[in-house]
Amino acid sequence: MNTFHRGRRLRSRSVLRDMVRESRLGREDLIQPYFVVEADPDFKKPIGSMPGQFQLGLNQLLNEVGPAVDAGLKSLILFGIPVEKDPAGTQAYAEDGIVQEAIRRIKSRWPELIVVADTCLCEYTSHGHCGLVSPEGVVQNDPTLALLARTAVAQAQAGADIIAPSDMMDGRVAAIREALDEKGFLDTPIMSYAVKYSSAFYGPFRDAAESAPKFGDRKTYQMDPANWREGLREAAADVEEGADILMVKPGLPYLDIIRLVRDNFDLPVAAYQVSGEYSQIKAAAMNGWIDETAVALESLIAFKRAGADLILSYFTQDLLKAGHI
């Protein structure tokens, strides 16, 4: 009599494999990032370090979003690139700022589409840091909070469905929550970049968003990649301050952190498959070394297996259009 485990019994046919699949990926799980520029509305420029992604003027943004919505896109996140930058990042919270205008146009065309607004100053500051900088070159935490709160309110007033602070200033979730509530946006959720590491995987994004720091780095406010207990402290702080969704960024190199956050907090968990992760897959596929679609799908299911409810991924739009999700 055979006494060994026969796991292949449930792998013999595709229908059986589908029946017992433990992790599933749906359209509602995915969020497509877009880079919108305050230039010619018909501007469209390929991002060299992110093949298949573009900087888009307002008209071109709508041209991209439309077919994606038709293919099943449920949610997107916007990153803005203004014409003028200054030390205080004033275009981040200007009523006519590029992201605010993009939100209004998208929501007027597709009111049911969930629009997430990235809330940060780095794309809008002339020095490229995520907060105000002192004359000595130190990123100032507390004075930055008021500007982040103003940005969140401006985005909510424009129609953003979710506010997503990515700056990693201490106390920003509480400041944003208080500001939103005071302006009547009690039901606008905050998806906090709660556990955001100072990662080398962000390089292509900084090309795309034109947000690289002009001096120094972001290690004084983004986390050390070697730390996991610190990540739990950061997530706990954001929960206490009023976050509704907790994000881990980057994604695949930090699957262990996603699992820790999932196991320790009873909130939805998001994961960001960042630009470096995307570009590595694209580059290998362009060289014929891997099957791009298969690897992209496998990487996304890894997030679900680790415990993520939501995934920000640059593959979203193309996978939807191709009918893979």
Q: Which residues are annotated as a binding site?
A: 120, 122, 130, 206, 218, 234, 275, 314
Q: Which two tokens stand for residue 99?
A: 């992201």
Q: Which two tokens stand for residue 12?
A: 């013999």
First to last CA, the chain: 43
Cα–Cα dist 303/305, whole Å: 5
- The dihedrals phi and psi of 61, each to the nearest 5 degrees, come to -60, -45
Cβ-contact 276, 202 below 8 angstroms: yes
Residue ranges of the alpha helices (H) in the chain?
Answer: 14-19, 58-70, 98-109, 141-158, 172-182, 203-209, 229-241, 255-264, 275-286, 292-306, 316-321
Helix (H, G, I), strand (E, B) or coil at 273: strand
Helix (H, G, I), strand (E, B) or coil at 272: strand
Cα–Cα dist 201/249, whole Å: 10
Tell which residue, 243, 102, 113, has the closest CA to residue 166: 243
How distant is the alpha carbon of residue 245 from its chain centre? 12
Buried b (16+ CB within 10 A) or exposed e, 268-291: bbbbbbbbbbbbbbbeebeeeebe
Positions marked active-site: 196, 249
